[in-house]
Amino acid sequence: MSDPQTQAPAGAESPAARALSKHLPILDWGSRYDRDTLVSDLMAAVIVTIMLIPQSLAYALLAGLPAEMGLYASILPLIAYAVFGTSRPLAVGPVAVVSLMTAAAIGNLGLSDPKEYAVAAIVLALMSGLILLAMGVLRLGFLANFLSHPVIAGFITASGLIIATSQLKHILGIDASGHNLFELTTSLVTHLPETNPVTLTIGAAAMAFLFWVRKGLKPVLVRLGLGGRMADLLAKAGPVAAVAATILVTKTFALDTVGVAIVGTVPQGLPPLTIPDFDLDLWTSLLGSAVLISVIGFVESISVAQTLAAKKRQRIAPDQELIGLGAANVAASVTGGYPVTGGFARSVVNFDAGAETPAAGAFTALGICLAAFALTPLLQDLPKATLAATIMVAVLSLIDLTVLRRTWGYSKTDFAAAAATIAVTLGLGVEAGVSAGVALSILLFLFKTSRPHIAEVGLVPNTHHFRNIRRHAVQTVPTVFTLRVDESLYFANARFLEDYIYDRAAHDPRLKHIILMCSAVNEIDSSALESLEAINHRLDLLGILFHLSEVKGPVMDRLLRTHFVESLTGKIYLSQYDAAVDLGPAILEQPAARKKSA
Amino acid sequence: MSDPQTQAPAGAESPAARALSKHLPILDWGSRYDRDTLVSDLMAAVIVTIMLIPQSLAYALLAGLPAEMGLYASILPLIAYAVFGTSRPLAVGPVAVVSLMTAAAIGNLGLSDPKEYAVAAIVLALMSGLILLAMGVLRLGFLANFLSHPVIAGFITASGLIIATSQLKHILGIDASGHNLFELTTSLVTHLPETNPVTLTIGAAAMAFLFWVRKGLKPVLVRLGLGGRMADLLAKAGPVAAVAATILVTKTFALDTVGVAIVGTVPQGLPPLTIPDFDLDLWTSLLGSAVLISVIGFVESISVAQTLAAKKRQRIAPDQELIGLGAANVAASVTGGYPVTGGFARSVVNFDAGAETPAAGAFTALGICLAAFALTPLLQDLPKATLAATIMVAVLSLIDLTVLRRTWGYSKTDFAAAAATIAVTLGLGVEAGVSAGVALSILLFLFKTSRPHIAEVGLVPNTHHFRNIRRHAVQTVPTVFTLRVDESLYFANARFLEDYIYDRAAHDPRLKHIILMCSAVNEIDSSALESLEAINHRLDLLGILFHLSEVKGPVMDRLLRTHFVESLTGKIYLSQYDAAVDLGPAILEQPAARKKSA
DSSP assignments along B249-284, one per residue: HHHHTTGGGGT--B------SSPPP------HHHHH
> Which of A145, A409, A495 shows the shortest C-beta gap to B491?
A145
Contact A541 B313 (CB under 8 A): yes
In chain B, whose CA is at the least distance from the CA of A454? B522
pLDDT at A5 (0 to 100): 44
Burial class (CB in 10 A: 0-12, 13-18, 19+), B234: middle
Q: Which residues of B touch A151 (CB under 8 A)?
A: 491
Packing angle, helices B526-541 and B491-507, rounded to 10 = 10
Mean pLDDT of B441-453: 86
Assess if residue A92 is contained within a domain.
yes
> Which is nearest to B321 in space by CA: B86, B514, B534?
B86
User: In this structure, are residues A312 and A5 in contact, taking their beta carbons and an 8 Å threshold?
Assistant: yes
Q: Do B561 and A409 touch (CB under 8 A)?
A: yes
Backbone CA torsion sign across B268, B271, B277, B281: positive
Q: B326 and B268 in one domain?
A: yes
Q: Number of A:B CB contacts under 8 A?
A: 159
Are B145 and A414 a contacting pair at CB < 8 A? no
Same domain, A506 and A438: no
Distance CA B31, CA B11 (A): 16
Residues B411, B458: one domain?
Answer: no
Q: pLDDT of chain A along its 598 residues, tens only? A: 344 444 444 444 567 777 777 788 888 888 888 888 898 899 889 989 988 999 999 999 999 999 999 999 999 999 999 999 989 899 999 999 999 999 999 988 888 888 899 999 999 999 999 999 999 998 888 888 888 889 988 998 999 999 999 899 999 999 888 767 888 899 999 999 999 999 999 999 999 999 998 888 888 888 888 877 778 777 778 888 999 999 999 999 999 999 899 988 888 888 888 888 888 899 999 999 999 999 999 988 988 888 788 777 677 888 899 999 999 999 999 999 999 999 988 898 888 888 899 999 999 999 999 998 888 888 889 999 999 998 898 888 888 888 899 889 888 889 999 999 999 999 988 889 989 998 888 888 888 888 888 889 999 888 888 888 888 888 889 999 999 998 889 988 888 898 899 888 878 888 999 999 998 888 899 989 989 998 999 899 889 999 999 898 889 999 998 999 999 999 999 889 899 989 988 877 776 665 554 4
Q: Nearest-CA residue of chain A relative to B531? A: A149
Identify all chain A residues contacting B151, using CB atoms and an 8 Å cutoff.
491
Q: Give the list of residues 6+ apart from residue A151 with CB closer than 8 angstroms, or none.
A: A417, A418, A421, A434, A437, A438, A441, B491
- Kindly give the residue spans of alpha helices, DSSP state H, lying in B430-482: 430-450
Distance from the Cα of A320 to chain B's closest Cα (Å) equals 14
Note whether A291 and A131 are within 8 A (CB): yes
Q: For A156-218, give the DSSP string.
A: HHHHHHHHHHHHHHHHHT-----SSHHHHHHHHHHHGGG--HHHHHHHHHHHHHHHHIIIIIH
Cβ atoms A440, A146 nearer than 8 A: no
Sign of CA dihedral B455, B456, B459, B460: negative
Tell me which residue in B453, B486, B541 faces A310 most closely, judged by beta carbons. Answer: B541
- Tell me if B434 sits within 8 A of B151, measured CB to CB: yes
Taking CB atoms and an 8 Å cutoff, what residues of chain B touch A492?
A: 142, 145-146, 148, 445
Distance CA(B539)–CA(B543), nearest Å, equals: 6
Q: Considering only CB atoms, which chain B residues are within 8 Å of A442? A: 442, 446
Residue A91 distance to chain B (closest CA, Å):
22
SS3 A327: helix
Domain final position from B354, B385, B415: B415
| Type of residue found at B206 | A
**Helices marked H in A312-452 — which ranges?**
318-334, 344-352, 359-374, 376-379, 384-395, 402-410, 412-428, 430-450
Q: B310 to chain A nearest CA, in Å?
A: 6
- Pick the residue of B139, B143, B145 with the most A CBs within 10 A to test the interface with A by mutation: B145
Chain A partners within 8 Å of B318 (Cβ): 499
Cross-chain CB nearest to A149 (options B146, B150, B491): B491
Nearest to B411 among A449, A525, A541 (CB): A525
Stated pTM of the model = 0.77
For an interface test with A, the pick among B147, B460, B522 (most A C-beta atoms closer than 10 Å) comes out as: B522
Burial class (CB in 10 A: 0-12, 13-18, 19+), B225: exposed
**B224 in any annotated domain:** yes
Within a 10 A sphere around the Cβ of B6, how many other Cβ atoms? Answer: 10
Average pLDDT of every residue of chain B: 88
Please say whether the beta carbons of B536 and B546 come within 8 A.
yes
Indicate whether A214 and A81 sit together in one domain: yes
Q: Are B134 and B400 in contact (CB under 8 A)?
A: no
SS3 content of chain A, % helix, strand, coil (to 5): 65, 5, 30
User: Do the chains contact at A146 and B526, CB–CB below 8 Å?
Assistant: no
Please tell me whether residues A231 and A108 are part of one structural domain.
Answer: yes
Which residues on B lie below 8 Å from A444 (Cβ)?
A: none
- Based on the domain organization, do A62 and A149 belong to the same domain? yes
A568: helix, coil or strand? Answer: coil
A201 and A239 both lie in a single domain? yes
* CB spacing of B453 vs A529 below 8 angstroms: no
Candidates A313, A460, A491: best to mutate against B (most CBs of B within 10 A) is A491
Domain identity same for A443 and A468: no
Structural domain tally of chain A? 3
Main-chain dihedrals φ then ψ at residue B484, nearest 5 degrees: -115, 125
pLDDT at A593: 63
Residues paired with A341 in a beta bridge: A93
Same domain, B332 and B476: no
**Same domain membership, residue B384 and residue B473:** no
Chain B positions in Cβ-Cβ contact with residue A448 (cut-off 8 Å): 523
**Residue in A442, A474, A499, A526 to test binding to B, most B beta-carbons within 10 Å:** A526
In a domain, B449, yes or no: no
Distance between CA A302 and CA A285 in Å, rounded?
27
Q: Which of B313, B446, B490 to mutate to test the interface with A (most CBs of A within 10 A)?
A: B490
Q: pLDDT value at position B594?
A: 58
ipTM of the complex: 0.77
To the nearest whole Å, the CA of A406 is away from the closest chain B CA by: 9
Distance, CA of A324 to CA of A336 (rounded, Å): 19
- DSSP class of B138: T
Q: With 50 as the cut, is the pLDDT of residue B5 above it? A: no
DSSP B335-346: TT----EEEHHH
Q: Which residues in A lie closer than 8 A to residue B504 (C-beta atoms)?
A: none
Q: Is A559:A590 a contact under the CB 8 Å cutoff?
A: no
Instruction: Give the chain A residue whose CA is nearest to the CA of B487.
Output: A522
Q: How many CB atoms lie within 10 A of CB B412?
A: 11
Closest chain A C-alpha to B525 CA, distance in angstroms: 7
Which chain A residue is nearest to residue B312, measuring alpha carbons? A541
Question: Is residue A24 included in any domain, yes or no?
Answer: no
Contact A421, A437 (CB under 8 A): yes
Contact A494 B441 (CB under 8 A): no
Shared domain for B402 and B464, answered yes or no, is no
- Classify residue A409: in a domain, yes or no: no
Report pLDDT for A209. 94
Residues of A with CB below 8 A from B446's CB? Answer: 146, 442, 445
Query: B244-288, pLDDT tens digit by residue?
Result: 999 999 999 999 999 899 988 888 888 888 888 888 999 999 999
Which residue of B147, B310, B471 is in closest CB contact with A541? B310
**What domain range is A460 assigned to?**
454-589
Distance (Å) from the alpha carbon of A49 to chain B's nearest alpha carbon: 30
| pLDDT reported for residue A6 | 41
Closest CA to A473 of A481, A463, A483: A463
- The string of pLDDT tens digits covering residues B138-191 is 888 888 888 888 998 899 999 999 999 989 999 999 988 876 788 889 999 999
> In terms of DSSP bridges, do strands B454-459 and B480-485 run parallel, antiparallel, or are they unpaired?
antiparallel
The closest of A30, A109, A13 to A64, measured between CA atoms, is: A109
Contact A527 B553 (CB under 8 A): no
Residues A500 and A570 placed together within one structural domain of the fold: yes
CA angle B24/B28/B33 to nearest 5° reads: 125
- A456 forms bridges with which residues in the sheet? A483
Predicted local confidence at residue B90, as pLDDT: 94
DSSP state of A459: E
Q: CATH number for the domain including B571? A: 3.30.750.24
For residue A92, list its beta bridge partners.
A342
**Cα(B296)–Cα(B105) distance, rounded to whole angstroms?**
13
Q: Is residue A26 part of a domain?
A: no
Collapsed DSSP state (helix, strand, coil) of residue B22? helix
Asked whether residue A597 is domain-assigned, the answer is no
Beta bridge partner(s), residue A480: A513
CB B497 within 8 A of CB B533: no
Among A250-264, B15-29, B41-55, which stretch is predicted with the lowest mean pLDDT? Answer: B15-29
The residue type of B259 is: G
Residue of B nearest to A152 (CA): B527
Are A244 and A88 within 8 A, CB to CB?
A: no
Q: Cα distance from B301 to chain A (closest Cα, Å)?
A: 15
Considering the domain boundaries, does residue B425 fall inside one?
A: no
The predicted structure's pLDDT at residue B593:
63
